[in-house]
A and B are shown apart, each in its own frame.
Chain A
Amino acid sequence: MKYRSVFDIIGPIMIGPSSSHTAGAARIGRMTRKLFGREPEWADIYLYGSFAKTYKGHGTDVAIVGGILDFDTFDERISQSLEIAKKNNINIRFIEEDALTDHPNTARIRMGDKDGEIELVGISIGGGKAEITELNGFDLKLTGHHPAILVMHNDKHGAIAAVTNILARHEINIGHMEVSRKEQGKEALMVIETDQNIPDELLHQLEQTENIVQVVKISV
């Protein structure tokens, strides 16, 4: 089941006007920022479906940029995000796409700086909830029925074992897991669905592990 917590329904506390187009959009932006791990120098934001048609009215643009600046849904700075991004010298572009997507509220975000870049597709599924469906060209085939994390890591021996060991020690059971890589020894990705919630402290602990680059909860 996609909605597991009562606070997905009663909540989030947010700046208006639209949970799908503002809060959910802010969360897609923020997930991208978290996966990138730092403030980018530039971001290209491609909007599809209802996002493309109505983003100005709903403040979807303002919200996504707010997320890229690492603001939460209730952060009142969201309404000034475009100005703040400009002041921080982040070069932002919006591109309206006509292509039909599986979900009406879809955004593709590419962001980067001189040290690297990231590309992600996120959907805003309603009530402020958002999901990542694609990351750096990796399709994420998740059931959406369980809590899930993404682990960006270096394709080195022991990286996967280290992560699963930590989860095991905290009595977290893995229901589904996928590992993919671009090429041997380079950037790789683990997608892990678990039966239990993974507390934020544990995400932090996973990130401290050797060869682990970044860990993010996939659905927030």
Chain B
Amino acid sequence: MFRNVSELVELAETQNISISEVMIRQEIEVAEKTREEIMDQMDRNLQVMEKSVEEGLKGVRSRSGLTGGDAVLIQNYMQDKEPLSGHLLLDAVSKAVATNEVNAAMGTICATPTAGSAGVVPGTLFAVKNRLNPTREQMIRYLFTAGAFGQVVANNAFISGAAGGCQAEVGSAAGMAAAAIVEMAGGTPSQSAEAMAITLKNMLGLVCDPVAGLVEVPCVKRNAMGAANAIVAADLALAGVKSRIPCDEVIGAMYRIGQSMPTALKETAQGGLAATTTGRELEAKIFGIDLKKE
């Protein structure tokens, strides 16, 4: 089993195979299943992702009323005007938002790596798909590549906001997506690692401060920006830009930052945006609590 990104890249490059192939072969061994079974299982995850994006683009609203409908707004804007940030980028953003709006509305999603960060990987995949026209197998492989990088982060740091802040959650998702975009676009395994490093570097320190403890504000928009971050970082890596700090060391930095982050900023709804005047007012309104009591 690969323990870190450098071992993962080395496994791919010495055997002259892709990151996704390394992950598939390892899964066959670990799960003691056939290649076909594993590909089918990932295809089922892909189908769920397709359905959640589809549902989100029709427009959903959460129980609290805090989120919903933004994916539709963005898609409408893209049809009316040429977006400044470009069509592909904003398409990814809208699809990431769509997935997280469905999640907030207690719909069915596929965690990648978590539910709160479930928008980034599918959002980028379905936007990049329209440009690169991948086969179904390449789309499934996208998820294996993302999974390989996510597994390294999960085993060496953390992937939940409660444990390490949003950098661990949306940060990891964005890094995973960036690495997968690179592979789908024909980049090398080391370029995937560079893309992951560049993305994660720009997510370091991001706290987990959900208003009222709900996976809605700011989570939905953090997924939006995670998707944007991933696409830009993938482009940088494909251009040949390298991270001065190697990917494994960036993951190590993320771990240490997460450990020293105060509990108030790790999904307890006690600090950050959750503790703003408006954040508290929204919380009081949603749960019907009297603010003076606190």
Contacts and interface: CB of A to CB of B under 8 A. Distances in A.
B178 to A, nearest CB: 15
Given A104-B263, A126-B154, A4 B1 contact: yes
B215 A18 contact: yes
A55 B210 CA distance: 13
Interface stretch (B72-80, B131-139, B144-152): B144-152
Given A10-B143, A18-B215, A49-B268, A57 B106 contact: no
A53 B269 contact: yes
A49 B163 CA distance: 11
A17 B215 contact: yes
Interface in A1-56: 1-23, 49-50, 53-56
Contacts, number: 182
Nearest to A54: B213
B108 A13 contact: yes
B106 A6 contact: no
Given A1-B155, A10-B143, A196-B32, A17 B113 contact: no
Contacts of A8: 151, 154
A127 interface: yes
A127 B160 CA distance: 7
Contact of A16 (B105, B154, B263): B105
A122 interface: no
Contacts of A50: 162, 266-268
B243 interface: no
A196 B31 CA distance: 9
Counting contact residues on chain B (CB < 8 A from A), the size range is: 35 or more
A125 interface: yes
A74 interface: yes
B144 A3 contact: no
A74 B108 CA distance: 7
A126 B115 contact: no
A87 to B, nearest CB: 20
B123 to A, nearest CB: 14
Given A57-B210, A126-B158, A10 B42 contact: yes
A10 B150 contact: yes
Contacts of A6: 23, 26-27, 42, 144, 147-148, 151
B42 A16 contact: no
B109 A14 contact: yes
A22 B212 CA distance: 16
A208 interface: no
A13 B102 CA distance: 13
Interface of B: 1, 3, 23, 26-27, 30-32, 41-42, 44-45, 48, 62, 64, 102-116, 118, 121, 143-144, 146-148, 150-151, 154-155, 158-163, 168, 176, 210, 212-216, 263, 266-270, 286-287
**8 smallest beta-carbon distances between A and B, as pairs:** A54-B213, A126-B160, A16-B103, A57-B213, A9-B150, A6-B147, A17-B215, A19-B114
28 contacts: A4-B1, A5-B30, A9-B146, A9-B147, A10-B111, A10-B113, A10-B144, A11-B111, A12-B110, A14-B111, A16-B103, A16-B115, A16-B118, A17-B216, A18-B115, A21-B162, A50-B162, A53-B213, A53-B269, A54-B269, A56-B287, A57-B210, A58-B215, A79-B106, A104-B267, A127-B160, A128-B111, A128-B115
